[in-house]
Amino acid sequence: MRSPVIIALAITLMLPAICPPAEAQTRFTPEEKERLAASVRAEFAHAWSSYKKYAWGHDALRPLSKTGFDWYKDPLMMAMVDALDTMTMMGFKAEADSTREYVLTHLSFDHDMYVKAFEINIRLLGGLLSNYQLSGDERFLKLAKDLGDRLIPIFKSPSGLPYVEVNLRTGAVRGTKTNPAEIGTYLLEFGTLSRLTGDAKYYNYAKYALLNLYERRSDLGLYGDEIDCVTGEWTGTNSHISACIDSFFEYLVKGALMFEDLDCLTMWRESYLALNTYVADSTANGLWYGRVDMNTGKRTATVAGALDAFYPAVLCLAGDVKQAADLQASFFRMWKRHGIEPAEFDYAKMEATRPAYYLNPEIMESAFYLYKATGDDRYLEMGKVFLDSLKAYCRTDGGYAELKSVITKEKSDRMETYFLAETLKYLYLLFASGDSVKLDGIFFNTEAHPLKRTW
């Protein structure tokens, strides 16, 4: 049973009335959905077996040269940890068992190297925690605690805004130019670590970073996209929902729901209103969220992109399903304009301005949340288009490749690990949810690692 606080939170966040809109059609039979889920599962098997064959032990796969690469001087098993819970959820039991054992016997964080704390947190700490909850194996929690402890030095800056990088062995920190996404995307992982270990310090550090960022919002309630964590001064004043800010909003909503945190709720509501007032842009080409100056609210650009497509999912969780559906319709138009979505797109001209596609998951994630909220088959149709485009333009015999350009469809030699953690997981869940996968009490971190609210 839900606690009164959660119910109050849900009402205040305007959680969706989960009823399909009148125009919802049910043209996808359970068999068709099952067939699509199986097809995504087969693509995961292809991408994963390519990683195993050509890049085993390395952080990630280069699908064209059929080699592996590492982010830093020593590998941190990025692909394995990122992929493991997807494998489990898709029912690849034997594969998950052997990968789990390999990770648990080989992964160590005692390396003398600087790492990007944000990425290590969302991919590795998130992955370790979800795999602990899925398997019950205490060794995952031990690794997660060890990693959490090694990340803590980033929070000890003069402004209370975390540093960008930390040396995993020495705890030395560096990188002072940071941004709201890198400051505000710790609460789910650190909060879960606190709840699972009984040690409140992890939650408190992540929350302290959020509160220090909130203190630095503009008078309009907006945030810029670069800030110095030593001086606490903004060095980039562009405000938007895109890269460098995006998951900060996501963690406010999820933090409010997952931990019943009323400060997160207050911070979210202020952002939600400010974004609607200044950043949202209703145009002849549909609803978009562009770029504005954080202090004046004056529009600086009419661009959006692949990463921005996380926002309909967040709006769904916060209960604004109408705005979520309108925005997703715009992103789907962006996808169809070139047959696959670009990193950046001028929505006034309806043209790609940065034409690369990095196998991003956000538009699939939003389709998944919208389908859950509305039951409208249009989101399954979208998912089918996404899957067909991925197979047509990004599939190679060595795995899946990113695109240098969605216009020329020229490939580049990289398969980001979030393709295994997120892109294929959300596509799978879109077709399989409600049938074979139980998601009650689950909150996905920004890398799509499922964290269960067990408290």
**Beta carbon nearer to ligand DMJ, 99 or 417:** 417
144 binds ligand DMJ (CB under 6 A): no
**Beta carbon nearer to ligand DMJ, 96 or 343:** 343
DSSP string covering 340-355: S--SEEETTTTEEEE-
Report the residue from 254, 446, 449, 450 that binds ligand DMJ according to the rule CB under 6 A: 446
| Sole window of 54-62, 154-162, 345-353, 360-368 interacting with ligand DMJ (rule: CB under 6 A) | 360-368
Contacts of 110 (CB under 8 A, 6+ apart): 168, 169
320 binds ligand DMJ (CB under 6 A): no
Extended beta strands in 121-259, E state: 165-167, 173-174, 177-178, 226-228, 234-236, 238-239
307 binds ligand DMJ (CB under 6 A): yes
Inter-residue contact 27 to 377 (CB < 8 Å): yes
418 binds ligand DMJ (CB under 6 A): yes
- SS3 at position 425: helix
Q: Which amino acid is at 73?
A: K
**Beta carbon nearer to ligand DMJ, 50 or 121:** 121
**Beta carbon nearer to ligand DMJ, 330 or 417:** 417
Report the residue from 131, 360, 366, 374 that binds ligand DMJ according to the rule CB under 6 A: 360
**Beta carbon nearer to ligand DMJ, 347 or 426:** 426
Angle (nearest 5°) at CA 333 between 330 and 336: 155
447 binds ligand DMJ (CB under 6 A): yes
445 binds ligand DMJ (CB under 6 A): no
Residue 434: exposed, middle, or buried by beta-carbon count in 10 A (0-12, 13-18, 19+)? middle
| Sole window of 142-150, 357-365, 377-385, 400-408 interacting with ligand DMJ (rule: CB under 6 A) | 357-365
Q: How far apart are the C-alpha atoms of 107 and 56, rounded to whole Å?
A: 13
Q: How far apart are the C-alpha atoms of 51 and 60, rounded to whole Å?
A: 7
Inter-residue contact 348 to 285 (CB < 8 Å): yes
| Sole window of 97-105, 133-141, 190-198, 354-362 interacting with ligand DMJ (rule: CB under 6 A) | 354-362
Q: Which of residues 112-141 bind ligand DMJ (CB under 6 A)?
A: 122
Inter-residue contact 26 to 377 (CB < 8 Å): yes
Q: How many residues does the chain have?
A: 455
CB of 343 to ligand DMJ, least distance (A): 10
x/- map, 70-109, ligand DMJ, by CB under 6 A: ----------------------------------------
242 binds ligand DMJ (CB under 6 A): no
Positions marked active-site: 341
368 binds ligand DMJ (CB under 6 A): no
- DSSP H or E run through 383: helix 378-393
Q: How far apart are the C-alpha atoms of 197 and 371, rounded to whole Å?
A: 35
Q: Which of residues 420-439 bind ligand DMJ (CB under 6 A)?
A: 422
**Beta carbon nearer to ligand DMJ, 387 or 420:** 420
Residue 1: exposed, middle, or buried by beta-carbon count in 10 A (0-12, 13-18, 19+)? exposed
CB of 86 to ligand DMJ, least distance (A): 14
CB of 448 to ligand DMJ, least distance (A): 7
Could you tell me where the DSSP H helices lie in 107-171? 117-119, 126-135, 138-151
| Sole window of 209-217, 221-229, 254-262, 358-366 interacting with ligand DMJ (rule: CB under 6 A) | 358-366
**Beta carbon nearer to ligand DMJ, 124 or 275:** 124
Separation of CA 386 from chain center: 17
Closest listed residue to residue 301, CA positions, set 313, 317, 288: 288
Report the residue from 247, 271, 323, 330 that binds ligand DMJ according to the rule CB under 6 A: 247
**Beta carbon nearer to ligand DMJ, 205 or 310:** 310
Q: How far apart are the C-alpha atoms of 408 and 385, rounded to whole Å?
A: 19
Residues that bind ligand DMJ (CB under 6 A): 122, 247, 307, 360-362, 418, 422, 446-447
